[in-house]
Structures are given as C-alpha cells and as structure tokens.
Chains A and B, each alone.
Chain A
Amino acid sequence: MLDINNLTAKIGDKEILRGVNLTVPDGEIHAIMGPNGAGKSTLSYVLSGREGYEVTGGSATYNGQDLLAMEPEQRAAAGVFLAFQYPVELPGVGNANFIRTALNSIRRARGEAELDAVAFLKLARAAIKNLSMPDDMLKRNVNVGFSGGEKKRNEVLQMALLNPGLAILDETDSGLDIDALKIVADGVNALRSPTFSALVITHYQRLLDHIVPDYVHVLAAGRIVRSGGPELALELEAHGYAGLEAA
C-alpha cells in the first residue's frame, strides 16, 4: 500500500506540492488528473527519488517503508517503478543488457538469485510476445532512435519484466496514437493483481477508457482537490478543470 501524508515539496524556492494526501491500497489503480503545472510530474519524481526536489514536510511510505529516506535504486528494489514521460536514451547500451542488469540489481537487492542471459532472454521474449511488440526491441540500444510510441512501449516492456508492486505512469499516454495507447493499457492491465497497484498520471480521459481506474483524483495547485470514481474523469473531460483550483 502506498500511503502519502500531507506531502509538501519544492523546486528551488517554488512550492509545488502543498500537502498531498493519498492512499493507494494493493490491488487498486488510481488515476491522477489535473491541469498543467498542478504538480503531477513532481509527485511522480518525488516518489521515485529524483534529485532537485526538496521534500519540506509530510511522508510517503510503500508497504510501511519510508520511500523518502531511500535511494532511487532502493525504491526500485522495494517494488516501485516509474514509467517516464520522456524516456531517456542510452547510446550503445543494448536494451536486453539494460533490462537484465536492472532486473538482476533488483533481484540481488532482494537476496534472490540472478538470471543468466539465457533465462532472461526466454523471459523477455515471452513478455514481448504478450505485449505484441517486435523482437528487435531487445536488440536495439535503449530508446535510441525510437519513435515516441516505441519509447513508451519500451517503458511498458521494462515494467512487465521488472514486475513492480507499484507502478507510477507519468503521462505515459502523451503523444501516443490509439494503437500504442492500447498496447500501453494492455501492459498495465496484464499486471493487475491483488498485489499490484498503480498511479496513472494523465491529462486525458481517453487512457482511462482502457485502464479503468478504481479511483480518480484531481490534483490542482499542489493539492488533491477532488476524488471520485471513474465517472469523475468523464465529468472533467466534459467540463474541464475550471473552477476546481479554487476548491
């Protein structure tokens, strides 16, 4: 369970999160929507441990572990996965090698045996097939020369293989056509289980047609100003965010 309590954070002198309260129990998918500049990406970065964000108050725990006290790689080992809004290119680094190194780092941190190249490839090929992705996805260098859609699919592939307990998807739908959107959604849906939860950050309702959330929250000016069921997303789609910020 992800438990965020009165979390405040700033970048430089600018206060971005002004007291976020949110609980995501295992097995649930929560969507976070909101206007530009509301603090959606900041929330995802603070949870995954990116530098440059100063937490000024409050707490965030996952399964009782204090996320804010952990290094990014420790959070990964604890089961937190961030799907990036802008996935980063790693020239010369093969995708299969990258994901295997990541998976084995996590397994090592958990005291599990590492996977050799053969065992990993078997796992990776199966995942690729499940996600209807092309085989060369593993051979190419991490995100280098990938189209926007391919980069997002690669995030989903990494997520599938690292098999996190909590996935944070930071506007993973932005810039995707409908086919790519479906692949991303299928990837998340495939992970649904009583021990998996996700925080889906999005601008648009359309992703939520494919990943149906248990709850929708509206983040505005650094606070969650409204929460509701999936129907809240439809309402926002119809009326926009106007008037919510004052609430």
Chain B
Amino acid sequence: MAAVTETLETVDALAAQKYKYGFETNIAMDEFPKGLNENIVKLISAKKNEPEWLLAWRLKAYALWRSMEEPDWARIKHPPIDYENLYYYAAPSGPEPKSLDEVDPELIKMYDKLGIPLNERAALAGVDSPNVAVDAVFDSVSVATTFRETLSKAGVIFCPISEAVREHPDLVKEYLGSVVSIGDNYFSALNSAVFSDGSFVYIPKGVRCPMELSTYFRINARNTGQFERTLIIAAEGASVSYLEGCTAPMRDENQLHAAVVELVALDDAKIKYSTVQNWYPGDAEGKGGIYNFVTKRGNCKGKNSKISWTQVETGSAITWKYPSCILKGDNSVGEFYSVALTHNYQQADTGTKMIHIGKNTTSTIISKGISAGHSNNTYRGLVKILPGASGARNFTQCDSLLIGDQCGAHTVPYIESRNMSAKVEHEATTSKIAEDQLFYCRSRGLSEEDAVGLIVNGFCKDVLKELPMEFAVEAQKLLAVSLEGSVG
C-alpha cells in the first residue's frame, strides 16, 4: 500500500506540471449578450443566414428545452448550471474567412501551438500528419477546413455545417436530427436550439475517403458554451475514418460543452469515429474544468453497415456521453471501444447503447475505466435486442482499474433482450495496480511513474489498438501524462 500512496504523491507532484494546452488566445471576439431566449436563437440563425426551416427547427428545440429538466440519473454531482449566465455565441470578429489566407494569424499560431497544422503547405511538407484533413472549430465557429480541394476531387464533402446548410440544404434537411432527435434529451435539445458550427461530411456512394478527416475543437472564450454539431453520412459502400480532438484553456469557472454528433451509414458503408478528449479537467482541488455533456449516436441504417466508436477520454471535469449505435440494417455491426481516465475530482459517467433492430446484427463493447485521486468513473451501458433482431449478438467487456483508495469505479450494465435467438455476453473485472507489479517494474529499472504508465497502457491496449496510428501514439502519451497527473 505504501507504494501506492507514494505513486499518488508522485502523480500529484507531476500534476502540478499542469495542463499543457491551458493557454488563452487573445483575439477580438463577437459575443451575443449572456443568457438564452428566443431572440438569441434568432440572432444565431440570422448570423448564419439560415433558411427559414432551420430557424423553425431551432425554435422548436428551444421550446422543448424550456419544457425539459436536466437529467439526474448519472453518477455525477455538480452545482446547478446557470444557463442564463452563459454566452451562447462567440466568434472571432470580422467576416467569415473565405480561405486560409484570411484566417487571423493569431489563430493559425494557436493551432500550431496545439500541434494542428492549418496551413496545408506546412502539413504537406511536414511529417506530422500529412494525410489528415482538418476542420478547426474555435468557440462557436469553424475557422478553417484544410484539403478541401483534394477531397472534392473524390466527391467527398467536408465543410463547416453552417456552410453545408447553405450549399447542401437537401442533405442537411434529410439527415439533421434524424439520428438524435431534437427532443432526445435535455442537452440535445439545447444543442439543437443554439448550435453554431461543427463539421459536415458526406462520402458519396462507393467512395473510400482518401484521407483521415479530423475536427479540432477549441473553447477559448470565457463563460462560453460550445455547442457544435457534427453530421457524417456515408452513402452505399462508402467508408471514412474521422478523428476528433479537443482542448480548452485553464479557467477557474466551469465551461459547458454540449455537442451532438450524428452518423448515418447506408448499405455496406463503414464509419470509424475516434475521439481523443482532452478538455481542461480542472485543477487538483476540482476547481474549473469543462462540463462535457455530449450526445453521439450512429445509425447503421443500411444492411451490412458498420459504425465504430473509439474514445479516449482523459479530460473534462464531468464527462457525460454515451456514443451509441442503432443497428437497423440486417447484418450491421456496432462497436464501442472506450478508455475513460479520471483523476483528482474528475467525474465520468460514460458508456454506450447498442440497439439491435435488424437480423444478425452484432455489437462489441470494450470499456476500460481508470480511476485515481478522488475521482469517480462509471460505465453505463445498454444492450437492447428488439423482437425482430434474430441472431443478434453482443459481447461486452468492462474493466476497471483503481489507483489509490479514494476513488470509485462503477459498472451499470443494462441488458434487455426480447429475442430468444440472441446471444449477449457480459464480462467485468475490477483491479488495482498491485504493489508487486510496481515493484517488479522498478526492480527492472523503471521509475514509478513509468511503471504506472506502462501498466495503464497495457490495461488499455485492446482499445488503443483500435485508434488510427497517429492518434494511438498521442493517446498513449496522453494517458501517461494524465496518469502522472491522473491515472489517474
């Protein structure tokens, strides 16, 4: 036990080395007045020159949201969120940039600092991530989308969703809200009313997207909520791999992030969606940090389609998200691979829902929770087999790793099967980093923090191997660093 105590001390000492992405960018911003009412919704819509139908959609969502209560079933605690004290729109001032040349150099500098090259030439020349197209979302707006020409040659549409509303209204109208309805939950209703930007992806029939697509979210402005909306559609036989990364400056007050992500896979289409979430987690006393209330859902609409969620969640004061799959098409496949790491006073309540509707649908859930410090980490999952889902199969594995004796790990699996031919398996383990494991590593020359990093990365291996290569390396480092401060 002494070794563990010592580990935690080491971890705390390293935590003081601080969140690397916690800098603030000083840039002229347009903000609407604080608080939320119909006028703000109208202002956002007007700012974006939106068509009438979308304004009506937003207002409907706003009315619904007003009638709803914040959900209270998750194992998280926080002071009430004052929705009237938030800014719902913040954007770098001036007209929207038409090309990269018009983007404020301060912003380009900031993204460089974060390791996200917005300059295509630099990206092409660099070895960092030469084959990733990036859509960068800064507070409420998309500031730049790279490699658009290369992509459009392949017929791929990758652009800010505000632009898609103007340029591809039929697609947006058909699919927006088709997977996560506006009234799905409190936060999806809020997002539907005030979403300001996000990414739109359309992969046409039979096209394999020629490069990884990526969105990089950054909350910068104070007291500002970020409500982005992502919509990805893979038409028949199309496939795409999409990456999402996030950071925010360090601030004493909590900031709200309530995103909605919708994925639609038609017949034989494949979507792989990977997230490395590193929002500011708050300090060692639990002050500040992002409240991350996110709704992510994919619809395997067509037969033989596949949607795969991989997430590495190390940031945020609170994480509330359940990337899910609706397995509607026969033989469709849903996957959820998750690492959630909490330290200090972080709280994570995360998991997935796999809804089996079509015949011979299969789902796999691998969840790894790591808790340290005073944190609480909950896996919450639903596997639902509807009567028509003959031959459906699910495999679920939930493993929890505890560091220290002040943290909590909880597993809340729900299984509802209404088809006798379905097979559902659930395995769960809880373990601690054992003193003998640490000693074994140290006797071989590893420092204590390297030993913890190695053991935790080993624990997460089944999930990390699902990430695209560049991300896997990043995630491994992130785990080790968060561990130092966090693993937890």
Query: Residues of A with Cβ closer than 8 Å to B?
Result: 48-52, 71-73, 75-77, 81-82, 84, 87-93, 97-99, 101-103, 105-106, 109, 141, 158, 162
B459 near A84: Cβ-Cβ < 8 Å: no
Complex Cα–Cα for A49 and B461 (A): 30
In the complex with contacts A51-B3, A88-B436, A72-B458 CB distance below 8 A: no
Q: How many angstroms from the CA of A222 to the CA of B442 in the assembled complex?
A: 26
Nearest B residue to A72, CB-CB: B442
Asked if B419 is at the interface (CB within 8 A of a chain A CB), the reply is no
A103-B459 in contact given A51-B439, A88-B437 (Cβ < 8 Å)? no
Check A105–B445 contact: CB distance below 8 A. yes
A93 and B446 contact, Cβ closer than 8 Å, known pairs A51-B3, A51-B439, A88-B440: no
Question: Does B417 interact with chain A (Cβ within 8 Å)?
Answer: no
Q: Pick the most buried of B443, B454, B458, B460: most chain A CB atoms within 10 A of its CB.
A: B443
Indicate if the CB atoms of B446 and A90 lie closer than 8 Å.
Answer: no
B444 in complex: contacting residue of A51, A76, A89, A92, CB < 8 Å: A76
Query: From residue 448 to 465 of chain B, which have CB atoms closer than 8 A to chain A?
Result: 448, 450, 454-455, 457-462
Contact yes or no, A93 B455, CB < 8 A:
yes
Q: Which 7 A-B pairs have the closest CB atoms?
A: A92-B458, A93-B458, A76-B445, A102-B444, A92-B461, A72-B442, A88-B440
The reply to whether A141 and B445 contact each other, CB–CB distance below 8 Å, is no
Q: Please, which residue of chain A has its CB at the minimum distance from the CB of B455?
A: A90
Task: Choose among A52, A81, A87, A102 the residue that contacts B446 (Cβ–Cβ < 8 A).
Answer: A102
Contact at A87–B440, with CB atoms within 8 Å?
Answer: yes
Decide if B446 touches A73 in the complex (CB within 8 Å): yes
**Docked CA distance A84–B441 (Å):** 12
What distance in Å separates the Cβ of A182 from its nearest Cβ neighbour in chain B?
Answer: 24
Binding site for A on B (CB under 8 A): 2-3, 434-437, 439-448, 450, 454-455, 457-462
A residues in contact with B462, CB < 8 Å: 92
Minimum C-beta distance from B454 to chain A (A): 6
B445–A103 contact, CB under 8 A? Answer: yes
Task: Give the distance in Å from the alpha carbon of A72 to the alpha carbon of B443 in the complex.
Answer: 5
Are B445 and A92 in contact, CB atoms less than 8 angstroms apart?
A: no
Assuming the A-B contacts A51-B435, A105-B447, are A92 and B459 also in contact, with contact meaning beta carbons closer than 8 angstroms in the complex?
A: yes
Give the Cβ gap from A72 to chain B, nearest Cβ, in Å.
4
Q: Is the CB of B3 within 8 A of A101?
A: no
Q: Give Cα distance in the complex from A51 to B438, angstroms.
A: 11
CB distance from B317 to the nearest CB of A (A): 28
Assess the B2–A52 pair: CB atoms within 8 A: yes
Q: Once the chains bind, are A98 and B454 in contact (CB under 8 Å)?
A: yes
Assess whether A90 is in contact with B3, with CB atoms less than 8 Å apart.
Answer: no
Q: Bound complex: CA of A132 vs CA of B311, how far in Å?
A: 42
Expressed in whole angstroms, the Cα–Cα distance for A103 and B444 within the complex equals: 8
Min Cβ gap A95→B in Å is 11
Given contacts A71-B442, A84-B440, A93-B457, list 5 more A-B pairs with CB under 8 A. A76-B444, A90-B440, A90-B458, A93-B461, A102-B441
Please name all residues of chain B whose beta carbon is closer than 8 Å to the beta carbon of A90 when the two chains form the complex.
Answer: 437, 440-441, 454-455, 458
Contact of B443 among A76, A98, A141 (CB under 8 A): A76
* Residue contact B458 to A109, C-beta cutoff 8 Å: no
- A105 partner residues in chain B, CB cutoff 8 A: 444-447, 450
**Complex interface: chain A residues within 8 A of B455 (CB):** 90, 93
Q: How far is the CA of A52 from the CA of B444 in the complex (A)?
A: 19
